[in-house]
Amino acid sequence: MSAGIVTITGGQFTTDPQQNLYAGYEVALQSDANTCHNLALGYEAASSLKGGDYNILLGYHVGAALTNASNNIMIGECAGYDTTSGENNIFFVCDA
């Protein structure tokens, strides 16, 4: 379980100190103090992200290879799975 994973308490999500909201198995495992204002929900979503801000990653294995990326939207199973970096991208579905 990642330190960045948040829990639902009293029906609400709680962000981490960098204002990230993560939920799912092995989500955002590499997230640290330089990774801020991200939303990642899903199995292994953003699992390699260790630098980057303002990303929205929703789904199974979404953005799993991202290491340093900002301002991206990835939605759907494996969307952006092989992408390692980049800015201002929108991905829908597997390897889009």
Query: What is the per-residue pLDDT for 93?
Result: 82
Nearest to 59 by CA among 30, 32, 91: 91
Contact 40/59 with Cβ under 8 angstroms? no
**Per the structure block, which two tokens stand in for 53?**
């801000």
Can you read off the two tokens belonging to residue 34? 């330089």
DSSP 4: T
Q: What is the pTM of this model?
A: 0.84
Residue given tokens 């390699």 in the structure block = 48
pLDDT, position 46: 93
Cβ pair 43, 61 in contact under 8 A: yes
What pLDDT does residue 71 have?
97
Nearest Cα residue to 54 out of 68, 66, 72: 72
- In tens digits, the chain (96 residues) has pLDDT values of 445 555 555 556 668 889 999 998 889 989 999 899 999 999 999 999 999 999 999 999 999 999 999 999 999 999 998 999 999 999 998 754
Q: What's the pLDDT at 35?
A: 92
Sole residue written with tokens 């990326």:
69
The pLDDT of residue 4 is 54
